Amino acid sequence: MTNPGLQSIFTLADKILFLFCSILISYCYYFFWQSTPAAYAIIKSPHQDTYRIDLQTSQTHQVKGALGTSTIEVTQGQVRFTASACQNKLCIKSGWHQHNGAVAACLPNRVSIQLASTHSETSYDAINF
């Protein structure tokens, strides 16, 4: 006599479906959600022209914004805010950014950084702020 409490709750069809879904998710992750490294950053500000900086050259930029000056640091293919005139400093707390399509912004100071690659592919259609 078999005890119904000890029987497997998964049927063969459940196991096949689980295996199929696992393979499908792995496939989608590999082909659709992988990020490529960015080659340059586009910096926008209301008080300066939009300009492009190379991420392979270590440098620091002072960008004039609506509230004051934001400092942007570039090192080894990464970019981040190191100082800004905003109150909460969320732009600084967001840390380093390095992937194509990543965006960092200091909204109160109206300064933004958008990372891009030589390829024009991004993982989103549009960004508004």
pLDDT tens per residue across span 73-97 = 999 999 999 999 999 999 999 999 9
Q: For residues 102-117, b (16+ Cβ closer than 10 Å) or e, as one string?
A: bbbbbebbbbbbbbbb
Across the chain, mean pLDDT equals 85
Residue 66 counted as domain residue? yes
- For residue 128, name the pLDDT band (cuts at 50, 70, 90): low
pLDDT (tens digit, 9 = 90+) per residue, 12-51?
899 999 999 999 999 888 777 767 888 899 999 998 889 9
99: in domain: yes
Residue 6 in domain: no
For residue 112, what are the domain limits? Answer: 40-116
pTM: 0.67
Please indicate, yes or no, if residue 29 is contained in any of the structural domains. Answer: no
- Identify the CATH number of the domain in which residue 97 sits: 2.60.320.10
Give the pLDDT band (50/70/90) at residue 9. confident
**69 in the Ramachandran plot: left (φ > 0), alpha (ψ -120 to 50) or beta?**
beta
Q: Hey, what are 6's tokens?
A: 């000890």
Sheet order of strands, 40-44 included? 51-54, 40-44, 111-116, 103-106
Structure token pair of residue 15: 């196991």
| Residue 53 is assigned to a structural domain of this protein | yes
E strand or H helix that includes residue 91? helix 90-93
User: Is 74 within the bounds of a domain?
Assistant: yes
CB atoms under 10 Å from CB of 2, counted, come to 6
Q: What number of other Cβ atoms are within 10 A of residue 25's Cβ? A: 10
Instruction: Decide if 5 is inside a domain.
Output: no
* Structural domain contains residue 34: no
Number of domains within the chain: 1
